[in-house]
Amino acid sequence: MTALHLRLGVLLSWPMVALLGLGAVPFVLLLRISVARHDPNGIALSGLTLHAYGALTEPELLGALLDSIRLAVIVGAVSVGLGYPLTWAIARMRRRLQVAWLVFLLATLSLSDVLIAFSWQVMLSKRIGLSNLFVALGLMDGPESLTPSAGAVVACLVYLVLPFTVLTLFPVFSRLDLDLIQAARTLGASPLRAFLSVVVPMTKGPAMIAFVMAMVLTVGAYVPPLVLGRPQSWPMAVLIGSTALAGHDLPRASAMSVFLLAATVLLAFVAFQATRMRVRNS
Amino acid sequence: MKAAGKILFLGLLAIFMAAPLVVVAGVSINGTQRMNFPPQDPSFVWYGTFFSDPAWMSAFSLSLIVAVLAALVSVSIALPIAYAIWKYKSRLALILESLARISFLLPSIVLSIVFLVFWSAIGHVGRIEDTILSHAVVFVALPLATIGMGFRSVDMALIEVARTMGARESDVLRTVIRPIVLPYIVSGLVFVFILSLNVYIIAYMVAGFEVETLPIKVFNNLRMGFQPTMCVGAVLFMLLGVFAFSAVAAIGDLPKLLGGVSRR
């Protein structure tokens, strides 16, 4: 037994050093800094004050947190709403088409959110953007810039999140046993009923994971809301970024991060709790 | 009717997903300095500018170096964990796996502050290894997931047969397990490589002034105004993404590597 432990110790030593040293320790440091005193010249690991957390009672920050949460729920719902039928379709495609779709979706991951936000800005601009297309179709009177707007932020974030949604849902949809649906149909269930009683229960869990993942990606996104959103509705991520970069106030940025993280965890918890409750009711 | 609806839905989504790529590619072949779409006097003049400008080339190669090394480091962390979980059901390895998953699931702005605080606190600031290690740790969950899937796909009967025929443990590892798991390792590498290429906020907070990767340079340039050259970088990344995942699809069974079942 000890020989095994020794072997495991050697095998896992590097992963342990890396994940504790660069994962756990930095996180504890974040908590520590959030209660340290502010040192404008850099970083101070001294002092114990809740001053930075006091900032969280400012209405501006609470508003930004609400904006973050609202954006996360909308992007999560739209991404899963589109990704669910898309993954269903991809999972049923002929192999070559399926691989083509997967490579296409994965390849969009190689573009930075900076570039995606930029190209949405171009697509929504006054001079060469979508509004010109709408004018040509008679939907709008004259071309205008469609940014900054909440819609632009949502469109860009859905774009960034969708590949992750499909990746999360693909395994379960791909393994879904179509015979079960066939059996339900043979036993007299309508297509809708067969879908609701076979497909939905089997895919509910992964769909919720995809939803939570979309929310986390949205809450953490900095560039899209900064570039495409209205300054008065900038979410927490943008404020955290500017506090750390322009304000050089690390305790405050850390406290805001802890706050945003707590809100995200709570949001994920509520989402998972909601799915579990529905399972019990049905 | 149903089929038409499905084709319409897939078509619209394909347009939605392709639109930014088309716009970026279109702008990159504009003949003029202004941002035009559809492109006017198409030419590859900006590609020439990109490749002869040391600043752009340095950002591009920095991005590649960071992404390649981050992918290797990330897999070097993930592989032992996945092996220890599969082979020994090690509890320590399971704890490390959850730690990796948590790191991946933190909002990226929070991660960027975590790393900013960490590298400043230990007084090791603005180095390329900071960026590499930060990316590697953030994305460990991905190779961990793919490699774990690879180990689980090994048929135990195969190992039994190999042992019965007198193969030693190391032979089994080399001749049975390695060929099965290798495509999953490659796909893990590619995932970290591609995601690391596109990280902006973490790379910026960690060492954005010293280690100016392509997304950072593009963002800095956006503030100063539009330059067609930045779209050239985007197109190169796009081609890299298509190439990398096509390569994965060519050496392995992509649907299976992503956790699905392969179809005819």
Name every chain B residue with its beta carbon within 8 A of the beta carbon of A222.
108-109, 112, 200-201
| Residue located via tokens 């994962």 | A23
Mean pLDDT, range A69-77, rounded to an integer: 95
Q: B219-243, pLDDT tens digit by residue?
A: 888 877 777 888 888 889 889 989 9
- CA distance to partner chain A, nearest, from residue B260 (Å): 4
| Residue located via tokens 């950002």 | B59
Chains A, B: CB contacts within 8 A come to 264
Burial letters A32-42, b for 16+ CB under 10 A, else e: ebbbbebeeee
Name every chain B residue with its beta carbon within 8 A of the beta carbon of A240.
109-110, 113
CB A80 within 8 A of CB A207: yes
Mean pLDDT, range A175-188, rounded to an integer: 81
Judged by a CB distance cut-off of 8 A, whether residue A28 touches chain B is no
Residues 105-144 of A with CB under 8 A from B: 105-116, 118-120, 122-123, 127-128
The two most distant CA atoms of chain A are separated, in Å, by: 78
CB B232 within 8 A of CB B32: no
H or E stretch covering B109: helix B108-121
Q: Which one-letter DSSP state was computed for residue A231?
A: G
Amino acid at residue number B80: P
The DSSP annotation for B34-74 comes to S--SS-SS--SHHHHHHHH-HHHHHHHHHHHHHHHHHHHHH
Q: Determine the pLDDT at residue A282.
A: 44
Among partner residues A12, A107, A240, which is closest to B113 by beta-carbon distance?
A240
Judged by a CB distance cut-off of 8 A, whether residue B95 touches chain A is no
CB B88 within 8 A of CB A216: no
CB B200 within 8 A of CB B219: yes
Which of A106, A154, A265 best tests the B interface by mutation, with the highest count of B CBs <10 A?
A106
Measured torsion, CA atoms of residues B9, B10, B16, B18, in degrees rounded to the nearest 10: -160
B222 and A102 in contact by Cβ < 8 A? no
Gap between the Cα atoms of A171 and A180, Å rounded: 17
Q: B151-210, pLDDT tens digit by residue?
A: 998 888 888 888 888 888 888 888 888 999 999 999 999 999 999 988 889 999 888 788
Residues near B213 by beta carbon (within 8 Å), at least 6 away in sequence = B59, B62, B63, B66, B131, B199, B203
Q: A12-46, pLDDT tens digit by residue?
A: 999 999 999 988 898 888 888 888 887 766 666 67
- Tokens encoding B109: 């702005």
- State yes or no: pLDDT of B249 exceeds 80: yes
- Tokens encoding B177: 């397990």
CB A151 within 8 A of CB A69: no
Gap between the Cα atoms of B217 and B227, Å rounded: 11
Gap between the Cα atoms of A92 and B142, Å rounded: 25
| Residue located via tokens 């025929």 | B165
Gap between the Cα atoms of A206 and A216, Å rounded: 15
Mean pLDDT, range A145-154, rounded to an integer: 84
- Tokens encoding A101: 């779709």
Per-residue pLDDT band at A279 (split at 50, 70, 90)? low
| Residue in chain B nearest A25 by alpha carbon | B118
pTM: 0.90
User: In this predicted complex, what is the ipTM?
Assistant: 0.90
Q: B127-147, pLDDT tens digit by residue?
A: 899 999 999 999 999 999 999
Judged by a CB distance cut-off of 8 A, whether residue B192 touches chain A is no
Residues 187-216 of A with CB under 8 A from B: 213, 216
Residues 73-102 of A with CB under 8 A from B: 82, 85-86, 89, 91, 93-95, 98-99, 102
Gap between the Cα atoms of B113 and A253, Å rounded: 7
| Residue in chain B nearest A116 by alpha carbon | B20
Judged by a CB distance cut-off of 8 A, whether residue A36 touches chain B is no
Gap between the Cα atoms of A191 and A84, Å rounded: 17
Gap between the Cα atoms of A280 and A1, Å rounded: 43
Name every chain B residue with its beta carbon within 8 A of the beta carbon of A108.
17, 21, 241
Q: Which one-letter DSSP state was computed for residue A37?
A: P
Gap between the Cα atoms of A189 and A187, Å rounded: 6
Q: A234-258, pLDDT tens digit by residue?
A: 999 999 998 888 877 888 899 999 9
Judged by a CB distance cut-off of 8 A, whether residue A280 touches chain B is no
- State yes or no: pLDDT of A76 exceeds 90: yes
- CA distance to partner chain B, nearest, from residue A281 (Å): 29
B13 and A82 in contact by Cβ < 8 A? yes
Residue B33's φ and ψ, nearest 5 degrees, are -70, -30
Angle at B149 between CA B96 and CA B155, to 5 degrees: 120
The mean of the pLDDT values for chain B is 88
Among partner residues A15, A98, A174, which is closest to B77 by beta-carbon distance?
A15
- Tokens encoding A12: 């896992």
Closest CA to B186 of B137, B226, B221, B142: B142
Name every chain A residue with its beta carbon within 8 A of the beta carbon of B238.
107, 110-111
| Residue in chain B nearest A22 by alpha carbon | B137
Gap between the Cα atoms of B85 and A10, Å rounded: 14
Q: B22-44, pLDDT tens digit by residue?
A: 888 888 888 777 766 677 777 88
- What is the three-class DSSP state of A31? helix
A250 and B116 in contact by Cβ < 8 A? yes
B255 and A99 in contact by Cβ < 8 A? yes
